[in-house]
Structure 1
């Protein structure tokens, strides 16, 4: 935290060195670079994934370098691989060897490109030692050499390095200036938005240092859009820095979540040892602030040996600071005093790290009873906070000045562009007029076409409606010839022995009622149920004595509620024909009508064993098709629809029956008009 920036800065510097500076010496005139150049590009692209493996392959490639320039480029690439594996002492001799070659060579663009890489790597090394003034100077030299070499593509990444160095040195206004200059360069180079994330989380870092967390989140969210495209090191930078932003807000659970993601990421890549241990430092402090001292001690002890091995004084200073506070939280004042006495004392300490140390020293002296010194460190932190506020004001003023210069330049360009556009508009006004006339004629033709098409569709709809109505009337006008024949045949046979003409009269009533309803698309529930009663009474003798037919209507006003003609008669006829006629034992048929709010629910249910698609008695389905098509036609004219469902349901005595259910809105319209 404290190290937050440290991690992000180091990785950005390294990546910038690879992306921006690693291709110096390549021929800019488009000549064929040969097999060796293709090999070098492959090594550069794979460097972040397997630096140790790349280092070994480069050893074998040195002897086959076609010329001196390629040889020393290869040597610099080896030095970068050593940087990734944290072998800093081994990379310095390689850099000195390349510098000696450049010093004795004639000055040209290729040599300036090698100098650019050397200074860029020097800036990385100074950054590791927290010598930020020297780091910034090295990056300034790298920027100058990049200009001399004519390598426009690498300059934005050197600007990022320089901005990071200024931010780590506490010069936030200059850091913000160079980040924004990088964005301007990206605009001129037309760099895709997804490749600008290093600048975004750099600006987020500046906002975090100045405690402007709204702005910080804005830039982090911009960077997060490219998270899937980031390399592993870049993902670590994002996760680590964003976790630190929540650390400064004292939202420790959220910060810990980001640090855990960072630790899981670095464990997948063995070469990311430095980043892994850096994350454990941050996790150690978060656990410390959450009073989880066992977890804090675990992570701090795991990373301490690594930073002592690489002799990183800044990291050791930070760990010692946390260990002092850890001892205080464990109520071990003598241990805290011993750790304070033996703590490392680096030449340079970042302001935020000083702030953390002062806060813990204030706690130490409070526990020791030395309140004078505790007050001293309290005042020191207030002074640092005042300095941060001052830097915020300075940076804001610098941003306004930069924005003014950028706006002035942009305005001049816009004026020039507007003048050119006016000239072009004047020269082509006749073309615009011609295009307008063509569009007007085309619009008129399209409107005429749509009008005629709509008229044709309307006539077609009327014809379709008339045909449908005729078909429905034809269906309603017919009754099964087989049914009429069977009833009449039965009645003729019975009349020889019994003069009672009840069934014959019922048949006559049924036929007469059917004719009366011919012109009606809808009837009242009373009429429909009367029709069904007449039909069932005619079929009752054929169903035997064990047949029972029940109708319950509740409180529904049967003379008011209207339903489509044959809505109940067709399901009743199907139940008798295909379910009950051949059934042995009890035969039951129910019709239930009830009102549910603004709807009437009518169900027809039997105990005939349920609907079976493969049954030999399932019929042709003509009757239900009539009902379905009638409902579909009527629903197209209503906002609220009639709903029909057919399902098998359990009935009494453990049997299964088929239930046809209709849900009918009370205010349903039966007029076939839109």
Structure 2
């Protein structure tokens, strides 16, 4: 990550160098300042802030100025300003029309840095239109084009604004690590080019929003607090973004009262600016969801009905999707399941929906299908949300690592100072007296000796603890089904209530198998009686699918007391399950399974044998090997602290009838300690 950050600095400095050289090579007559462009720059400087505060007024002035200009390039710069005002007043059709006119003009012109600036503005506006209407894939494409063109233009100081738009688009597509990288690049540019610090607060609350998505609220608050320091200096639309996003962070924490306070501040803010219609309706939309969460359906319905006409008129897909999601939950609260189904069947579906919104919708859909007793679909949406949560957790590790690597690479001046200080420190170290050096070396040597002693003393205990965690992880991986066991048992018990006696027995065995499976997965060792009871239950359930040709046999020799013999949990069950699933299920003819337990001179011998054709490494049915990995890892840990070890052998055997089978043999010593301290 550090190398990548350094490459970014070099690329930026390289591009700046190219611009300087290019400028030096331009003939003097081409460097003459265009008075009309100068007038435009003065106009934009005077009215830039008013684009968001009084967009209609600025639009009128820009269109008037445009009629007075002879230079076509300058004329279309005024048209860019007009398109921005259309965006601010939520007049999306007019914004699209103006952007298309600008795009048609730029395609006919020869390249120049000034044209690159105009094209960059055009693509940036086009990306904003797509982002506002919920087409984030297209928004990302045009923001990236705007960024690349701006790097060939004359106004590199506006690049951070484009990078913020690009970061926001990638965030809403769920690519949080990419979004964070764009925000970091924006900060790096601000510091490297000495750009005014007023551009940093939007970057800070953009980074905060990434940590909201990652549910890392400590880092989220850190960046929001950095942004809050400049709140009074923010423009109205920047204040809106800050308040809205911070309210969203409290929504995802479950602190709905605080979220409501922030969203009320949003509506209070934008009500003073008549052209901020989109921002006002967005505040109402968020308030509607918060009131659903605090069980105030009447208030929720009021805000949903207030904002729905606006979003239907503007065709903003993500907002309409969010409204449908809230209406589904509102119908569920009102116990109106037919209405919930009608909304669900008529709902807008788009591939560009924000993952967080999909997560909220999935939660409500799970609730709907639970209430309609369609547990299969309820289970599907529960799995989908768990999958999304796992993805976020994996990205959280990446993000924290990237944050540590990039945090101190943002200010090139600070980095240069650190290098200078380190060089001076090295010079001082070289001038130190030899006596001080020997004292330091002696101290280090003593510390190393103490460290080695302590490390050697605890190495065995640490290794055992690490291996035990590995076993626990493998066990959970082997039995985890991503669904609450209580939920499964409740569903199966409901199914048993309406079944016949013989069917109840099979379901009862399945419930018993699942409960026992969960219990054994949490125990390192069990008695032979408990293990065999679990194996018998499993075999009984498999009899139906294997048919009358399946002949299991369990033989316990003399001198073996199942209640007193201990062994690692699932030691027998996993080889038995492997034999059934990977050898016997698809075998034709007689299917035999032998479990032979006998006493030997120095312990207990356990053999699991089948006639399934033997172990074949290249077989398509050979499985993943996770189960046997659990057994071997468990035995390895236990053997490390026992003088006499458990022996394991797996090999193919020739049977008396000429068939080939696979045999797994375990030898358990009599005096064996199954405890891990």
1:281 and 2:285 are equivalent in the alignment: yes
- Helix, strand or coil for the counterpart of 1:237? helix
Distance 1:385 1:295 in 2: 30
Q: Could you say which residue in structure 2 is the equivalent of 1:263?
A: 267
Relative distance call for 1:175 and 1:27 in structure 2 (3 A) is farther
Q: Could you say which residue in structure 2 is the equivalent of 1:225?
A: 229
- Helix, strand or coil for the counterpart of 1:271? coil
Q: Could you say which residue in structure 2 is the equivalent of 1:216?
A: 220
1:329 and 2:333 are equivalent in the alignment: yes
Distance 1:201 1:162 in 2: 14
Q: Is the 8 A contact 1:36 1:66 kept in 2?
A: no
TM-score (norm 2): 0.55
Q: Could you say which residue in structure 1 is the equivalent of 2:651?
A: none
Relative distance call for 1:380 and 1:189 in structure 2 (3 A) is same
1:61-76 → structure 2 map (5 Å cutoff): 61-76=65-80
Of 391, 396, 402, the match for 2:395: 391
Q: CA deviation at 1:375?
A: 1.6
Runs of at least 5 residues in structure 2 that lack an aligned partner in the other structure: 1-29, 428-677
Distance 1:77 1:407 in 2: 32
Q: Could you say which residue in structure 1 is the equivalent of 2:193?
A: 189
Q: Is the 8 A contact 2:184 2:410 kept in 1?
A: no
Distance 1:337 1:345 in 2: 15
Q: CA deviation at 1:347?
A: 3.5
1:107-506 → structure 2 map (5 Å cutoff): 107-402=111-406, 414-415=418-419
Relative distance call for 1:422 and 1:347 in structure 2 (3 A) is closer
Q: Deviations over 1:24-79 (max 9, x none)?
A: xx989697956565334434342111111222223322211142122111111111
Distance 1:407 1:55 in 2: 38
Distance 1:148 1:297 in 2: 50
TM-score (norm 1): 0.56
Q: Deviations over 1:100-143 (max 9, x none)?
A: 22222221110011011011112112212322232222112111
Distance 2:96 2:70 in 1: 24
Relative distance call for 1:406 and 1:276 in structure 2 (3 A) is closer
Of 90, 102, 109, the match for 1:105: 109
Q: CA deviation at 1:192?
A: 4.4
Q: Is the 8 A contact 1:79 1:91 kept in 2?
A: yes
Distance 1:391 1:422 in 2: 39
Distance 2:41 2:416 in 1: 43
- Helix, strand or coil for the counterpart of 1:296? helix
Runs of at least 5 residues in structure 1 that lack an aligned partner in the other structure: 1-25, 424-674
Q: Could you say which residue in structure 1 is the equivalent of 2:627?
A: none
- Helix, strand or coil for the counterpart of 1:106? coil
- Helix, strand or coil for the counterpart of 1:269? coil
Of 91, 96, 99, the match for 1:95: 99
Distance 1:197 1:36 in 2: 27
Distance 1:200 1:412 in 2: 24
Tell me how large the CA RMSD over aligned residues is: 2.7
Q: CA deviation at 1:232?
A: 1.0
Q: Which moved more, 1:59-68 or 1:311-320?
A: 59-68
> How many aligned residue pairs are there?
398
**Greater C-alpha Rg:** 1
Q: Is the 8 A contact 1:27 1:33 kept in 2?
A: no
- Helix, strand or coil for the counterpart of 2:307? helix
